[in-house]
Amino acid sequence: MFVRFTNIINSLQSLNKCYTNSEMVRKILRCLPKSWMPKVTAIEEAKDLITLPLEELLGSLMTHEMTIKNHEDEEEQDKKKKKVIAFKSSTTDSSEEDSDDEMALITRRFKKYLAKKKFG
């Protein structure tokens, strides 16, 4: 975003339209999405926007962006950890009757599950 902003500002300067540092800082803060509003408010209250260098604003916003990304990554890892499923395995050979009984049991449980899912 900052590169695009810089390109626009440079193009405007070539057309003899110049902005002060404080105007550029305010323009960047205005264009941020609503999810960034707490950060924008904190910057506006903590720093003097007239003397705030554009590079310092950029550094502050990049730090905030990395913090948000780290939190999202941690949440994704937590979700993945919670979705672990273990299956029981057996290596013994069973007779055909046993496998038919097991298949019937699995089928009944699956039908019950579907019935609950449909009406629940």
Q: How many other C-beta atoms are found inside a 10 Å radius of the C-beta of residue 44?
A: 14
* Contact status, residue 26 vs residue 49, Cβ threshold 8 Å: yes
pTM over 0.75: no
**pLDDT, tens digit (0-9, with 9 covering 90-100), for 32-78:** 999 889 999 999 999 888 888 989 999 999 999 999 999 888 888 87
Q: Look up residue 40 and give its amino acid.
A: V
pLDDT of residue 80: 73
The CA distances from residue 70 to 45, 47, 82, 94, 106, in Å, are 25, 25, 19, 50, 42
